[in-house]
A = this chain, B = another copy of it.
Amino acid sequence: MRVQDEKNSNSLKNRRPNGGSRAKARRETEETILTAAETVFAEAGFGGATMQLIADLAGLPKANLHYYFDTKEALYRRVVERIFNIWLEAADVFDGAAGPTEGIGAYIDAKMEISRHHPNGSKVWASEVMHGAPVIQDYLETTLRDWTEGRCAVIRRWISEGKMAQTDPHHLMYMLWATTQHYADFSHQIDTLNGGDPLSDAQWEAAKTSVKTIVLRGIGVL
């Protein structure tokens, strides 16, 4: 419900715009489908999304989607994996930081940027987790768990070194995730409370500053 009709206009795919190789064209078509799928899954959820809707948005016949992705669930899985990887990239800025001011501050900035530029991905991820992670449960139990424990260890070290206040690392992580991703997942609500307009550049900067200020002061490093 929503996802405007794209049958004859504004499709993501212009047929054969490249003289490139077969493999390249394949990769581009896959990317087109994945992007369209991400949008539709984000706007309608897995159950509400239809292959026809995705096909229309991608500007391809429905049967073509099944040539590249066997099933709706396989396509969905690829979309979620794609997001998960982008999401993990933000970890880089966390690592190698001298202390919480730099590390957590940069992490907030990075996550806020992702929320701004990949809101659909964030929504699909949120929806997947909310529904019990039927597709990516293994990721949660392996990659995410390891990643989380690693960062929590860093936080604990910062605490023991007196670089920040005594704080439960897990709940701090949850607060960071929740707050930053909120700007993607609840963007519609935020826009509505902003008079119906998306946040401007300045407002995004203000958001980042507000989050960083409260969190960093909240862990005693301001």
Task: For A48, give its contact among B46, B189, B213 (CB under 8 Å).
Answer: B46
Total chain A interface residues with beta-carbon distance under 8 A: 58
Distance (whole angstroms) from the CB of A200 to the closest CB of chain B: 13
Cβ–Cβ contact B211 & A133, under 8 A: no
Measured CB to CB, the nearest residue on chain B to A214 is B218
Distance (whole angstroms) from the CB of A75 to the closest CB of chain B: 15
Indicate if A11 sits at the interface (CB-CB under 8 A).
no
Cβ–Cβ contact A46 & B43, under 8 A: no
Distance (whole angstroms) from the CB of A100 to the closest CB of chain B: 12
- A144 to B189 CA separation, bound complex (whole angstroms): 9
Cβ–Cβ contact A182 & B188, under 8 A: no
The oligomer's copy count stands at 2
- On whether A214 and B210 interact (CB within 8 A), knowing A43-B132, A188-B129, A193-B144, the answer reads no
- A215 to B211 CA separation, bound complex (whole angstroms): 10
Q: Which residues of B contact A181 (CB under 8 A)?
A: 178
Cβ–Cβ contact A141 & B192, under 8 A: yes
Q: Which of A131-183 contact B (CB under 8 A)?
A: 131-134, 137, 140-141, 144-145, 148, 165, 167-168, 170-172, 174-175, 177-179, 181-183
Q: Which residues of B contact A186 (CB under 8 A)?
A: 126, 129-130, 174, 177-178
Cβ–Cβ contact B44 & A131, under 8 A: yes
Cβ–Cβ contact A132 & B188, under 8 A: yes
- A58 to B83 CA separation, bound complex (whole angstroms): 36
Indicate if A17 sits at the interface (CB-CB under 8 A).
no
- A185 to B134 CA separation, bound complex (whole angstroms): 15
What are some 12 contacts across the A-B interface (CB < 8 A)? A1-B47, A2-B134, A133-B192, A137-B192, A140-B192, A140-B193, A145-B193, A171-B210, A174-B207, A175-B175, A175-B210, A178-B186
